[in-house]
Structure 1
Amino acid sequence: MRKSLIAVAAAGITLSLAACAGAGTTPSSTPTPSPTAATPTATGSAPQASGSLTVWVDETRIDAFKTLGEAFLASTGVALDVVQKPSQDIKTDFIAQVPTGQGPDLIVGAHDWVGDLQANGVIAPVELGDRVDALNPNAVQGFSFDGQLFGVPYAMENIALVRNNGMVSDTPATFDELVAQGKAAEGAEFPIVIQQGPQGDAYHLYPLQTSFGAPVFKSDENGYTSELGMAGPEGIAFANYLKKLADEKVLSSSIGGDQARQAFLDQKTPYIVTGPWNITAFQEAGIDVSVLPVPSAGGQPSAPFLGVQGVYLSSKSENALLANQFLEYMTTAEAQDKLYELGGREPALTESAAAIDDEILKGFAEAGKDGQPMPAIPEMGAVWTFWGAAQLSIIDGTAAPDAAWTEMIANIESKF
């Protein structure tokens, strides 16, 4: 589904995409049937309300939300006008159109949009009352900004360690032991593959970095602060570990996302650090896989970034009451179970997540239990380029670890 989340995240935060409404891409609108007084609900009683809501979704979610809209109509009498927009356009078009009154009531998107959307004044806070306690706290944190909730999360995903069970049958407790095991595995050309590429890839290295106690930003009760958590001795220790992995031929700028995926498909390595988007290809190739947490390299738990998907409410919606009814519906097991069935991602609703019996998704959930939502604060925009470049200079041997990391911290902080 995605070959490099880091590239997507960087583009979404640091680049200013041109809004292209009406510029060659025609959204497809797929409304659910208009409700009438005779429309039955799921239980056969009269619908609770009537009217319609417009929601923008991307091409990967259009079918799921069309189906969800049919269920919502049956339960409430409110129709969803589901409009497909290109994934790269939803956020920028929403920011451009909401102030004019032409935007939708709701949009579906990633949690790391919240900073930009809130700063532009185009989303409204969401009040869920006690229902918020039914959601995964990490998912709630992802959609929170300055102590307020700005969206309803419904799905979560993260990277993990994926093992070829035909090459190795158990996994050591530490990353160093894993590397040694991978080198000794029969037929292995690489002990493990972790994608990097010519720009570096801090996202896929983040579980190792956090195991040294070096999160990108520090946190308090309201979420991320603007204080770098990777400045200091913990970050320097991780930088030196990168040099060690490069010297042992574990990391290389020549191994990008495509190369890492192919090496695992060709069974040239027993391990890959990747996300659920690659699992289908591995299984279709006949590889028996297990999904596990990334073993610690620095002694603390490995905490990958969490990506959270959810629904935002427009600050200019003229249907706020109906929109809030849909947002409450999004916290129900009916809605979250259905989206899990259609999208194959861990539900944000704790009750629904606990009912999953798919071993692969359970493995990703276990790997992400200590995870951290990708920061959505404005300061993150200054991080990605310097972060990846510094790591790459260490891996390629063009800079000493201590110097590269110290310079990276100074460059990032100069942009705040």
Structure 2
Amino acid sequence: MRIRSAGVAAAVALALAAAGCGGGEEPNTTESPRAAGGKLVIWADDKRTAALKPFAEKFGQANGVTVEVQAVANDVLQTTFVTASQQGSGPDIVVGAHDWIGNLVQNGAIDPVQLSATQKNAFHPTALKAVTFSGQTYGVPYAMENLALIRNTQLAPEAPRTIEELVATGKRLKADKKVSEVLCLQVGQNGDAYHIYPLYSSAGGTLFGTTPEGDYDPKNLGVGTPESIAAFRKIAALGEKGEGVLKRSITAENSISLFTGKKCAFLVSGPWAISDVKKAGLAYDVTPVPGFAGAGPARPFVGVQAFYVAAKGQNKAVAQEFAANYVSTPELAVALYQADPRPPALTAALDQLMGTDPDLAKFLDAGKDGAVLPAIPAMAAVWDPFGKAEAAIIGGADPAATLTSAGKTIAGQIK
């Protein structure tokens, strides 16, 4: 475990000891939080841990419980939580991405959160949809995120309406030696399904079809279909053997720094890039990722960060109280925004912050045509084969053969 908290080893040991001594009984859910007492353990990543601690302490004082907020490295938070849950040594609440839900539910790691209709209406509809799985609300959303086009307005004063307009502007700037790259969109050697999806969707590609209820259908795979191959032919035309706009040399590690270093006028990224852009002192604007001319809109994935109640937590009544009635306060939502500026899911907090951060409304506008990132377990089978197929096609591989092979790989893993 890469848990960065001095007291975590002791906390895990205590939880294991309690489980071994019959402490695994669920608390009486009819008790009030104060009556339940005890300890509430919350796991989150570093940024959110720092923001949560003062609010957690306030909640603990008001409800007669000891609250511990412990930091777990974000890249192992989900797997660490599932493993700890199975061992009976996990937290009462975990904070993470909404696309974990399918896996967490499949592993019996989280419970539905009890939100009233009034509480649900307080959240952005897309955020609430993202945390709804099989008809139940499994998390309390607090932040949303999606990709947008971040543009250096000194180099490119006008927002491109299509990807073709962007390419023309970028090529002109490159010919004038004002930039070295037409577009900074991370690909890397293994591809990046998340960042290529806006262009893929604009060209008619999908990952999954949907059920009559509007849920993603893992039995209706969109990778390897004629539509997906046609979409990647358009992407290939922008690749290394085509326009040279999409490159494997542009990666997660250098895409933002290339933009802040004025090596490109256009960056496809999310709210997490803005702090670096501001530090660089660039004049910038945020607009939707443009789609292909004559095709559909570019539909970025919309992701949501949320609080989850552990199914095997030691203090489930208090965890439900914290998640349902405390996470939904504007004060906490604003504090989490200040720790990591992404549009709040709580409408009241979003309205409060829009006056001081105009980028919030711009990112929301960029995601208005977005697709909720699939949270079904089958999505885990998509990322690697799809990304590698993307990288290969951008490098010059045949779209039809590459996508057909990727589709077979994904289908085999889903079965």
Q: Which TM class, normalised by the smaller chain length?
A: 0.7 to 0.9
Following the alignment from structure 1 to structure 2, what is the Cα–Cα distance between the partners of residues 312 and 324?
9
Following the alignment from structure 2 to structure 1, what is the Cα–Cα distance between the partners of residues 408 and 250?
28
TM-score after normalising by structure 1: 0.84
Whether 2:78 is the aligned partner of 1:87: answer no
- The 5 Å alignment of 1:175-194 reads 175-185=163-173, 186=176, 187-194=178-185
Whether 2:261 is the aligned partner of 1:261: answer no
Letter in 2 for 1:87: N
- Rate the CA distance shift 1:167–1:122 in 2: closer, same or farther, 3 A: same
The CA deviation at 1:175 is: 0.9
Whether 2:120 is the aligned partner of 1:120: answer no
Does the aligned pair in 1 maintain the 2:385–2:406 contact within 8 Å? Answer: yes
Letter in 2 for 1:143: V
Following the alignment from structure 2 to structure 1, what is the Cα–Cα distance between the partners of residues 53 and 261?
38
- Rate the CA distance shift 1:218–1:137 in 2: closer, same or farther, 3 A: farther
**SS in structure 1 of the partner of residue 167 of structure 2:** helix
Following the alignment from structure 2 to structure 1, what is the Cα–Cα distance between the partners of residues 7 and 364?
34
Match of 1:67 in 2: 54
- Rate the CA distance shift 1:80–1:271 in 2: closer, same or farther, 3 A: same
- Rate the CA distance shift 1:89–1:382 in 2: closer, same or farther, 3 A: closer
**SS in structure 1 of the partner of residue 46 of structure 2:** coil
- Rate the CA distance shift 1:264–1:411 in 2: closer, same or farther, 3 A: same
**SS in structure 1 of the partner of residue 206 of structure 2:** coil
Measured against aligned partners, the alpha-carbon deviations of 1:199-249 in whole angstroms (never above 9, x if no partner) come to 112211111111123221123326221022345343122111112101011
Does the aligned pair in 1 maintain the 2:223–2:403 contact within 8 Å? Answer: no
Match of 1:195 in 2: 186
Match of 2:319 in 1: 323
Letter in 2 for 1:405: L
Does the aligned pair in 2 maintain the 1:29–1:82 contact within 8 Å? Answer: no
Select which of 227, 239, 242 maps to 2:235.
Answer: 242
Following the alignment from structure 2 to structure 1, what is the Cα–Cα distance between the partners of residues 253 and 315?
45
Match of 2:403 in 1: 405
The CA deviation at 1:74 is: 6.0
Following the alignment from structure 1 to structure 2, what is the Cα–Cα distance between the partners of residues 265 and 94?
36
**SS in structure 2 of the partner of residue 257 of structure 1:** coil
Match of 2:351 in 1: 354
Match of 1:129 in 2: 116
- The 5 Å alignment of 1:43-54 reads 49=34, 51=37, 52-54=39-41
**SS in structure 1 of the partner of residue 74 of structure 2:** coil
Following the alignment from structure 2 to structure 1, what is the Cα–Cα distance between the partners of residues 75 and 162?
39
Following the alignment from structure 1 to structure 2, what is the Cα–Cα distance between the partners of residues 215 and 108?
29
Letter in 2 for 1:330: V
Measured against aligned partners, the alpha-carbon deviations of 1:367-389 in whole angstroms (never above 9, x if no partner) come to 12222232222211221221112
Measured against aligned partners, the alpha-carbon deviations of 1:14-52 in whole angstroms (never above 9, x if no partner) come to xxxxxx38xxx563359xxxxxxxxxxxxxxxx983634
Following the alignment from structure 2 to structure 1, what is the Cα–Cα distance between the partners of residues 42 and 394?
44
Does the aligned pair in 2 maintain the 1:29–1:84 contact within 8 Å? Answer: no
**SS in structure 1 of the partner of residue 413 of structure 2:** coil
Identity %: 38
RMSD over aligned Cα, in angstroms? Answer: 2.3
Letter in 2 for 1:248: E
- The 5 Å alignment of 1:302-317 reads 302-317=298-313
Structure 2's unaligned 5+ residue stretches are 9-31
